[in-house]
Copies of this chain bind each other. A is one copy, B any other.
């Protein structure tokens, strides 16, 4: 199934089922008014939603034209948003660029931070911030949404509790990060509101591309109209989503609707020739990583962070070039 939440003036939006090809959508409020409600009652409602979804795809229901511009993030607000750094290559580059060793345990013990989840922005909404001197960056990621997950659950059980998959733009304020991390309590002001793809999909929608709890497609980031990165989300993901969920649930239950992010998608590349798209590489899912490689190669970064007016588009395509989740497409704008 594919789900979207249309803007309707309410805090949680209006649940819509979207056809597999993303052309049509249908209001399913008679089954579940919101996506959180559907997740809260998944066992009672999934079959009904599935039946409606099949009818929609078979053209037996009169849907409306699907418009990503009408979308909230699938969960406009959520009770849990925990983001990992599962592509350890990215973390290693961060460390190398500042001349620090990465602890060996980073390959066996996931990095994860607790994100804020009360005010996500829509996939086509502007990223509004008071200043573009804070080092505004996008981070293209994959995320899953879980059902209830009991404390201390196994990876096998964690895998079974994955209900939905979506894309994320985990907006980061790079210039605020060093000061905040130095305080020792992790990110807060440096991680403003994230946005998610117009559509969240059940794992079966990915077919063979959902294997070992990883998404086996490239994640495309287009920055100001130029392809900036297309690393493969199935490669170099050191911890799969089942491992990340089990990590998150070590000392707590996760409740239905919990979002667990992969962290910036990043592939290990031969840096000697550069790793940008124009240099034959797969590019990057955030500006910071490109700046790290620039620092490693040339001693200092040359790509600036986002300025007001800059635009980022994040999307994932099937092998047949069909958009799976719709595109996140946002401009950075100043707070009035």
Contacts and interface: CB of A to CB of B under 8 A. Distances in A.
A248 interface: yes
A37 to B, nearest CB: 10
Contacts of A9: none
A98 to B, nearest CB: 12
14 contacts: A11-B256, A77-B255, A78-B79, A79-B79, A80-B119, A114-B186, A114-B191, A119-B255, A129-B151, A130-B151, A134-B251, A186-B186, A189-B251, A193-B252
A122 interface: no
A42 interface: no
Interface stretch (A176-184, A195-203, A323-331): A176-184
- Interface of chain A: mostly helix, strand, loop or mixed: loop
A227 interface: no
A112 interface: yes
A240 interface: no
A185 B111 contact: yes
A78 B185 CA distance: 21
B254 A118 contact: yes
Taking the full assembly, how many copies of this chain does it contain? 2
B119 A252 contact: yes
Contacts of A112: 185, 188
B114 A80 contact: no
A317 interface: no
Contacts of A92: none
A80 B188 CA distance: 12
A191 B112 CA distance: 13
A129 B113 CA distance: 21
A251 to B, nearest CB: 4
A26 to B, nearest CB: 26
A237 to B, nearest CB: 18
B111 A114 contact: no
Nearest to A134: B251
A335 B252 CA distance: 11
A152 interface: yes
A176 B77 CA distance: 29
Residue from the set A85, A129, A186 with the largest chain B CB neighbour count within 10 Å: A186
B119 A250 contact: no
B185 A184 contact: no
A106 B80 CA distance: 28
Interface string A145-157: 0000001100000
A187 B250 CA distance: 13
A322 interface: no
B40 A254 contact: no
A80 to B, nearest CB: 4
A188 B116 contact: no
Contacts of A257: 118
Interface in A124-140: 128-130, 134
A129 B251 CA distance: 6
B252 A80 contact: no
A251 B176 contact: yes
A66 to B, nearest CB: 27
